Chain A
Amino acid sequence: MKTEYKRVAYYPGCALEGTGHAYNKSTREVGKALGLELDEVKNWNCCGAMEVKNIDPKVQTYLSSRVLSIAANEMGAQVVMAPCNGCYHNLKKAEHELAHDAGSRDVVDRISRKAGHATYAAGQVETIHALDWIKDGIGEVELKRRVRNSLKGLKIANYYGCMYTRPRHIFPEKDQGAGTESTSQPHFMDDLLAAAGAENVDFPLKTACCGGAHVLSDSDTSTKLVLNILRAAEAAGADVIATECPTCHSGLEMHQVRAEKVLGEKTKVRMLYFTQLLGIALGLSPRKLSVHENVSDGIAVLKEKGLA
């Protein structure tokens, strides 16, 4: 176990204050239940997401570096935890750029001085995902010990999306053998939910693209990509798709509705954040975990399985 994960600087990111509110709520509740402390990054800003990155990647690197700088230099944090795949990816990318690209370092230093805060230097903090936080902060053995409401009987397809492990070079800690995360076959969410009693199904589209980037240019492609993921989860026998990213989660939920309306294709599989599922296993109520905020009717499947 990593003791430094017991208390981390928390970077929720923009999505968790909006469409991903249920993820924010359930992450905080699960942390509380497990005795893992979250110290929200003060006055945080957008990580640069996709929009800024496409216009000027170095400005995106600065935006992410500012978050890391506040955590390191103003809060004295060692670890920053980001539950959103997009934020996590961008913070890791900024870390990589600052470690390997002098041009990025110059731009970040120049803007940081102008903005009046300390320049972030690569390596000052460690950036982790919510999955790392629970997997290495608590671990499966301890998690199993704390389960009050086993997810036994619930079949889960774990969906990691495409940004959690790509591109491989910005995640040097992954693919380091036993106990580390895999970039080709990620398993941390599978491990945690198995410890909570769930049955993970073999899901070959666990890192496939959900079409998030096509939403503006071509909604039909996104809908078809999502529908294909939902169909694959159902074909694998899943009751639920577990998610660990607000963008993936919203995409799956919204396009499930759109697939039915526009394409007349109905699917039954439901989407729940992995933190909501862990919370249920820890004995927390669905309301406390904001399951009622999901578009997809998670309560129904939890009731059907005797979990709510």
Chain B
Amino acid sequence: MRSFAEIEAALAGPPLAAETLLAIAEEVLERWVIAREETPAVEVREGFRLLALHRQGTRGTPSFNACRETCREIAYHYNLLREETGAALLEQRQRMMLLLVKHLLLFVSGKLQVAGLGDFCCASRPLRLESS
């Protein structure tokens, strides 16, 4: 399994195809699911395994929903790239999809780092549960 630093380095390299970017996004979410000692989903949701993995990753951790739209935008950009034939738009959308995948990676790596401290965002999973 690649480390987040290795994945980040891959994203910083030569342009990647939509399929590769989508696979990286799935790999990132798999890391989150595995860290929670679960088996990553293999089924698809709305045509994307990425969305099934996101749903799985959110169970019991509502604040993980903060990356819901990022995942949906990745799926949307994947669809756009499959349809796009114009070189200029293709390049721009590919770059945007890369930035979205990178955002997901940074978000998940950050969530894993603070997992021991509790969630800080929209739905807290408080420290008090651990201390009580």
Distance (Å) between the CB of A33 and the closest chain B CB? 33
Residues of B within 8 A of A204 (CB): 69-70, 73, 76-77, 96, 100
Distance (Å) between the CB of B121 and the closest chain A CB? 6
Partner of B126, one of A57, A224, A229: A57
B126, closest chain A residue (CB): A54
Residues of B within 8 A of A50 (CB): 120-121, 124
Interface residue A285 (Cβ < 8 Å from any Cβ of B): no
Q: In the complex the two chains form, is B117's CB within 8 Å of A217's CB?
A: yes
Distance (Å) between the CB of B20 and the closest chain A CB? 18
Q: In the complex the two chains form, is A214's CB within 8 Å of B73's CB?
A: no
Given A167-B65, A228-B102, A89 and B107 contact (CB-CB distance below 8 Å): no
Residues of B within 8 A of A75 (CB): none
CB interface residues, B 57-91, toward A, < 8 Å: 62, 65-70, 72-73, 76-77
Residues of A within 8 A of B128 (CB): 54-56
Residues of B within 8 A of A218 (CB): 110, 113-114
In the docked arrangement, what's the CA distance between A205 and B77, Å? 12
Q: Mark B98-126, 1 if CB is under 8 A from A, else 0.
A: 01101100110110011001111111101
20 more A-B residue pairs beyond the given contacts A204-B77, A206-B69, A209-B110, with a C-beta to C-beta distance below 8 A: A50-B124, A54-B127, A55-B128, A57-B126, A166-B123, A167-B62, A167-B65, A184-B68, A184-B69, A205-B70, A205-B73, A209-B66, A209-B67, A214-B113, A217-B117, A218-B114, A221-B113, A222-B110, A228-B99, A228-B106
Chain B contacts to A: CB under 8 angstroms: 62, 65-70, 72-73, 76-77, 92, 95-96, 99-100, 102-103, 106-107, 109-110, 113-114, 117-124, 126-128
Q: List 16 A-B contacts (CB under 8 A).
A: A50-B120, A50-B121, A57-B124, A57-B126, A167-B123, A184-B69, A185-B69, A204-B73, A204-B77, A204-B96, A205-B103, A208-B107, A209-B107, A214-B114, A222-B110, A228-B99
**Nearest 10 CB-CB pairings of A with B:** A213-B120, A204-B73, A166-B122, A221-B110, A232-B99, A162-B66, A214-B110, A209-B66, A228-B103, A225-B106
Chain A contacts to B: CB under 8 angstroms: 50, 53-57, 89, 162-163, 166-167, 184-185, 204-209, 211, 213-214, 217-218, 221-222, 224-225, 228-229, 231-232, 235-236
